[in-house]
Structure 1
Amino acid sequence: MTVRNLEGGQPAWVRIVGEAGALRGLPQGGTVPAGASDAAFETSPATEELLRQAGPAVQLFDGEAAAGAGITLEAAGELVCVVGVPGGIMAPDRQDTPTDLLVEVLPAVERSGELPPPLAPDVVLELRIAAASASAYEVKAGQYIQIIDVDGRQCSDFLAFDAAELRAGREYDIDPTTTRTLMGSSFSGPGLHSKYFDTRMRPLVEVVQDTVGRHDTFLLACTAKYYEDMGYPGHSNCTENFNRTLAPFGVTARKGWPAINFFYNTFVDAHDRISMDEPWSRPGDYVLLRALTDLVCASSSCTDDIDPANGWSPTDIHVRVYDAACQFPNGSAHRMTPDAEPRMSRQTGFHSRTSALTRKFEDYRGFWLASCYSGSGPIEEYWACRERAVVTDLSALRKFEITGPDAEDLLQLAVPRNVKKLAVGQVVYTPLCYDHGGMIDDGTIFRLGTHNFRWICGDEFSGVWLRELAAKHGMKVFVRNSSDQLHNLSVQGPRSRAILKRLLVTPPHQPTLNELKWFRFTIGRIADRPVLVSRTGYTGELGYEIFCHPNDGETVWDALMEAGVPDGLTPMGLLALDMVRIEAGLVFAGYDFSDETDPFEAGIGFTVPNDKPDPYVGAAAIERRRQSPHRRLVGLEVAGNEPIGHGDCIHVGRAQVGVVTSAVRSPILGKTIALARLDVSVAEPGTPVEIGKLDGHQKRIPAMVVAFPHFDPRKTRVRADPPVDEAPERIAASGQAGSVVADDPRGSVNRSR
């Protein structure tokens, strides 16, 4: 058994149930004091029973363990190991976040065919489908069907029939064409739009959970003809296997079965050809479905061994059926890196409140966030942001605690900004770049102390990259993921300050809300819950972000919504957020920048100073790109009302000269606007261009290059100072009044994210 301290700095211990000395390789003299090992961690009743039987705790790691540190132990006999990973709730102004350990068990004798444990105890069917075979089974309405790829990289075709109609002699099965038409997607993912339909447009099953994310709903299960055409007459195939197993149910045999091809990695290439490669699935990966009516189902282990479809070697599939009384949350698995452990979509600390206001959620980077709200909708939410105030759950942002004596040196090396100039309590927006100048991510750095920083970004890989950079340069620094300890609300709009002033209580040594300058943060309490509040945002409006522990999410939400009633505070979803951020010229990963674009091409060249005294990653490449730019991010004003989208080509004459990165119909400007990346030869304001539709040539939409941001280009709204009559005395946490410090937020040199 190898235990790895993935991010470093995480204490851990082990206790065993078995004979003393049965676990070899334990550190000597590392016994944890009695009682200390049972503090500050979560247990289940089963674990508590094991702990009563276990021997003393032996420390595996202390709080100084390096990232990636590992210890390998060997079992001399059969035993049970209990690994404890202590950690408590992290306050927003602290950085003592607990992090994950990885435990890898290597069996003495290599084995395969093992199944992950059931998702719930109420299993009503266990069905092993041997390699290159198929089986049929019945499922009642409401029951759950888990299709498991036992050894990985194995496809499984799935059929489902309305059981009542089948008994009446009528075949209504899943129809891929109907499903794709109604869903607008080749594969239906977990969530609101997750269903598979028959030709009557009635849903038969819905996807509840998926740990793979790559499947196929537009090809037949493999057929005899496929193998004959490939030169393998008589090869076993899924269609004939289905015909045999479904015959007892009165299903008519077919030459080819339209199926959901779970784990089948097919794709449409750039030339509109359907291609395939090995599946993405790993051992134990699964899809969980819920039956929406009584069904007759059939599942196969695909027989294909003549191409990469099953990794060239078919293996087993396993089907588990769970009782309808089980409760499973919707979600897809997310992996930070290809070799990372999967993690199912999770809810934020505010989900109980947002889910009471809408059912329109999307899985955004592993978190369920609201697209819009039932009581308003995107347009009304947009105007609330521009005219009053809105609150948006943005807890999917990743947070990393960067601590240690070399924390400043690491960030000074990692980003173009001069982190040495960053004061405690200040925030700076910056890109993170590779050596070739392309962007990994963008985000904000918060300075909490001399050797204490917080990096808030969109991509979880940022933490991995920073950790690797620190190791490469031998730096004494920890980079630990605190995303599950800090969830956040964005409160934006002209009335945001007035609302938060009613709530935020700060101690004497921290700025009040009126004193809080642009790109600064303060620490205080809302509804007696600890919070960190920064004057930052993603809307182009005056605004703030509130960070709290998810356990305090409901209390903070309730207090905020109550305080916002007089000012018309409205919840806002991601659809309206996209509208305001495009108007404000704020870039979005995967749209306006990628690892192929440098900060200048992403329109954030202001984040790359000319005079940074220290070297940083990508400096040479970025300087070359600065001196010899090829492309530039610009604004476009588009003629007419035709929809414009990300990826639309831009032409001057026949030649393509660029691409639309983001576009929106702006309510406040009354026109369609876009951000676009153009060749520098046509990037000057006033240059006419055309946006290509259809094949890029048959249909052209006129547009004009303009400066961006399109809305409030001087940032007067986001920089807004409080009027003189909005400067009440400070209310300290102790209840004592303090002095008012009149800081000028226009003194900040940072720009809005």
Structure 2
Amino acid sequence: MNQIWFQPARQPARGAALPPRERTLRVPGGRCALFTVSAGDALRVVDPEGLQGGLLYALPGTFEASSEGEPPALAALLDAIGEAASARAGLDAGGIGPSDLAGLAILGGETPADTAWEGIAARDSLCLLAAPGAAMAPEAQNPPTELRLAIRPRTSIVGQAPPPLAPPLQDLRVEAATARAYTVKAGQYIQIIDVDGRQCADFLAFDAAELAEGREFGLDATTTHTLMGTSSPKPGLHAKYFDARMIPLVEVVQDTVGRHDTFMLACSAKYYEDMGYPGHSNCTDNFNAVLAPHGVASRKGWPAINFFYNTIPGSDDRIDMDEPWSRPGDYVLLRALTDLVCATSSCADDIDPANGWFPTDIHVRVYDAACDFPRGMSHRMTPDSEPRLTRETGFHARTAALTRTFDDYRGFWLPSCFSSAGPIAEYWACRERAVIMDLSALRKFEVIGPDAEALMQRALTRDLRKLAVGQIVYAAMCYEHGGMIDDGTVFRLGPNNFRWICGDDYCGLWLRRLAEENGLKVWIKDSTDQLHNVAVQGPRARDILGTLVVTPPHQPSLSELKWFRFTVGRISGVPVVVSRTGYTGELGYEVWCHPSQAGTVWDAITEAGAPHGLTPAGLAALDMLRIEAGLIFADYEFCDQTDPIEAGIGFAVPAAKTDPYVGQEAIARRRAAPQRRLVGLDVAGNEAVGHGDPVHVGRGQVGVITSATKSPVLGRIIALARLDVTVADGAAVEIGKLDGHQKRLAATVVPFPHYDPKKTRVRDDGAPPPAPPEPVSPTETVASAGIPA
């Protein structure tokens, strides 16, 4: 480690000063970002995936010259790089032209993952960091990937709020253990920022017009919980906080933490007296003081939104708490839905973990109603990763024109259903005709290099040496103890070229760790933001895509494409990869393209599909389809405590494999002495069952429901369940409701998949597919809860 850098800071002891903080910045691949440095600041730029170039521009003399080559002029870079408009605006605001900044090529070449450049600023400067790279073609494996910048300032930045999201109308500091009141107009945005991390901020809001008439109507937790159906509203459809009149006062637009308390009081004098600290400063008294000038009556305890307060309602009927999850600079962004009188506190609690034992400042900014902030939650690949707000897929403009019902699914907005049909109609469209579904939230990793095959052999349960170029195989990725990290599909694009499609960001980190531990020359490049996809599923999928996909002579045509194979071609001139894969149990394909061209692909497919009854479908219909087809889902059918055999995918774990893989010995032991297995259940009656419901034989619990749905095609409730191996097929079991004993629903253990167990439909070779069974009744249906995020 270079001497100019530093070790991660530790949390302070109670009563001690906070340690120095670093500033961090994430620059996505193919983009750039502006930041400022002061003389003496230490910088570290890391390429976490390898093979990514880095360009740094600053005023001449800010950094020592680099030996990595001559960078392009900044003006030329801004013409070529994505989303450079904000960088140009930032330069203009600083009175700096592109020619005023000198460039350094700080990274480049065949660099391994975690290659870093370090430097110290010799002068104050506005700087620009770029991660250059062109858009990746879907058949290529050269995605531009992110760079991460950390700045250790020469002087401490403890207590400094992050840069504003836009020019603020109000910029308020709420010092530790105090409160402030302020007014906000309808439509304006309120940003509540945890400056130094792990600090709770209570928030109150009152209808200003009613307050002026002497009537108090403030945020009401009970009403909010009842109307939103959630303990803490999140960005999206169910984002509002209401008063007792059921009138919304604010809505959540962005949230970088996602863990708050909305059902208890702000701290009060009584709490501290009961704990042996009479006279302790508290949020309730602080609120009473700052709200009195606005005509708000004092209270002994204020019901408040306790942002960043980490309370945990447990199954033992107790409410516990721990240190907040918030990091320095984390925030919640609200939008006022009417004129408001607001108050925000920095919680005074220093006698328990509520504020990490060390109260610090809260910062409040108010922004103009004309601002346009995207909605989203923050997602982190690991606890120390930079947060990313919920993203829109390349197909979002098309799907958003057809529905307002979106779920934050693993960091992307995906439709749960569409306004024109609904889940049941979408389901039947897939079984009888065809549907198009946006599944771009899948994670994609390009695995390239001379040791790519050796790495994938080590990481996955399948024997990749048997995989031909152009072929795909389904596999599991496991820990040493046999528990699953994820499942997914592997595309072989070349002798030393693979693409891993999965659901979990962590797979990329795991693969890099394995490569490093085994001394393998291989790169794992995240291409998720360069490769978005729609699934076209249903018995008419081949007819629809067959008229669209144009392939070169050396690639299979769509009619020639076999199950678990892919081809390269074009749709309306747009480069695509088309794979014969899916998650529905029907004949189907997935179409992969660059997100910038996704709209053209969607339009072409929907236009070609219209005569065939093609319907857009969302996650709710997909959940019904995949349960019927016996397809497993992360955190439901498997987790890190479940091996692939228990998860019902023993077919993906060959008894013998050319090379050893991670978890092989543990899985062999589990296979020799199995304890649980995944089974199907046919449930008697029409009462709903769901994930987590216990399964009993007599009084004893023998397993748990993993997934369940009302099957439209079968006309009954079906489930997947993990049961003890002693429970045989055909056995009668009971599903426990209420406390598991007061109410029981009869069920029978059956093989799965429940629907098309021989997979004749998905393997369709071109002959007319068998007709699905007739529905029992068009009215005998229930809406699915959808695939959980």
TM-score bracket relative to the smaller structure: over 0.9
Q: Determine helix, strand or coil for the equivalent of 2:226.
A: helix
Matches within 5 A, 1:346-745: 346-682=391-727, 684-723=728-767
Shift of 1:314: 0.7
The alignment status of 1:4 with 2:15, answered yes or no, reads no
Aligned equivalent of 1:45, options 88, 92, 100: 88
Q: 279-288 or 103-112, which moves further after superposition? A: 103-112
- Aligned-partner Cα distance in 2 for 1:34–1:319: 39
Measured after TM superposition, the shift of residue 348 of structure 1 is: 0.5
Deviation of the 1:124 alpha carbon: 1.1
TM-score between both structures, scaled by the size of structure 1:
0.94
Asked whether the equivalents of residues 224 and 237 of structure 1 are also in contact (C-alpha less than 8 Å), the reply is yes
Other-structure match for 2:142? 96
Cα RMSD, aligned residues only: 1.4
* Residues 58-457 of structure 1 mapped to structure 2, 5 A cutoff: 58-121=104-167, 123-457=168-502
Encode CA deviations 1:272-299: one digit per residue, 9 max, x unaligned. Answer: 2100001000111100000111111110
Contact 2:458 2:662 in 1 (8 A): yes
CA distance in 1 between counterparts of 2:342 and 2:90 reads 37
* Distance in structure 1 (CA, Å) of the matches to 2:91 and 2:206: 45
Check the 8 A contact 1:31/1:56 in 2, yes or no: no
Q: Say if 1:470 and 1:477, in contact at 8 Å, map to a contact too.
A: yes
CA deviation after TM superposition for structure 1 residue 427, in Å = 0.4
Residues 28 and 91 of structure 1, relative CA distance in 2, 3 Å threshold = closer
Identity of aligned residues (%): 66
User: Contact 1:39/1:86 (CA < 8 Å) preserved in 2?
Assistant: no
Question: In structure 2, what residue type is equivalent to 1:497?
Answer: R
- Read off the aligned partner of 1:23 and give its amino acid letter: F
CA deviation after TM superposition for structure 1 residue 80, in Å: 3.2
SS at match of 2:500: strand
* Alpha-carbon distance in 1 for matches of 2:509, 2:311: 30
Letter in 1 for 2:745: I
Distance 2:473 2:729 in 1: 29
Contact 1:158 1:298 (C-alpha < 8 Å) held by counterparts: yes
Residue 63 of structure 1 and its aligned partner are, at CA, apart by 3.2
CA distance in 2, matches of 1:51, 1:451: 45
Q: Aligned AA for 2:502?
A: C
- Indicate conservation of the 8 Å contact 2:68/2:106, yes or no: no
Secondary structure in 2 aligned to 1:514? helix
Relative distance call for 1:33 and 1:486 in structure 2 (3 A) is: closer
Paired residue secondary structure (1:125): strand
Deviation string for 1:476-524 (max 9, x for gaps)?
Answer: 0000100000000000000000000111111100000110000000000
Once residues 79 and 163 of structure 1 are traced to their aligned partners in structure 2, the CA distance between those partners, rounded to angstroms, is 44
SS in 1 for 2:301: coil
What letter is aligned with 1:531?
Answer: V
Is the Cα contact below 8 Å between 1:227 and 1:235 reproduced in 2?
yes
Are the aligned partners of 1:13 and 1:37 in contact in 2 as well (CA < 8 Å)?
A: no
Alignment partners' CA distance in 1, 2:739 and 2:124: 66
Give the conservation status (yes or no) of the 8 Å contact 2:68–2:107: no
4, 23, 26: which is aligned to 2:63?
Answer: 23
Question: Which residue is equivalent to 1:749?
Answer: none
| Aligned-pair CA distance for 1:52 | 2.5
AA in 1 matched with 2:307:
F
Classify the secondary structure of the residue corresponding to 1:165: helix
In 2, distance between residues paired with 1:507 and 1:237? Answer: 72
Distance 2:63 2:564 in 1: 53
Gaps of 5+ in 1: 726-753
Partner deviation per Cα, 1:354-374 (whole Å, 9 max, x = no partner): 000000001001100000000
CA contact (8 A) 1:238 1:303 kept: yes
The residue correspondences of 1:741-752 to structure 2 (distance < 5 A) are none
Once the two structures are TM-superposed, the CA of residue 34 in structure 1 deviates from its matched residue by 5.7
- Give the whole-Å Cα distance in 2 for the aligned partners of 1:286 and 1:56: 35
State the alpha-carbon separation in 1 of the partners of residues 91 and 123 from structure 2. Answer: 22
Task: Give the conservation status (yes or no) of the 8 Å contact 2:694–2:735.
Answer: yes
Secondary structure of the residue aligned to 2:193 is strand
Shift of 1:581: 0.1
CA distance in 1, matches of 2:758, 2:768: 22
**Contact 2:220–2:241 under 8 Å retained in 1:** yes
Letter in 2 for 1:705: V
Q: What is the distance in 2 between the residues matched to 1:582 and 1:136?
A: 51
Q: Tell me the number of residue pairs that the alignment of Structure 1 and Structure 2 aligns.
A: 720
CA–CA separation in structure 1 for the residues paired with 2:383 and 2:133:
27
CA contact (8 A) 1:190 1:332 kept: yes
CA contact (8 A) 1:205 1:289 kept: yes
Normalising by structure 2, we get a TM-score of: 0.90
What is the distance in 2 between the residues matched to 1:637 and 1:723? Answer: 31
What's the CA shift string for 1:98-129, capped at 9, x where partnerless? 000001100112231111111123x2111110
Aligned mates of 1:300, 1:458 — CA distance in 2 = 39
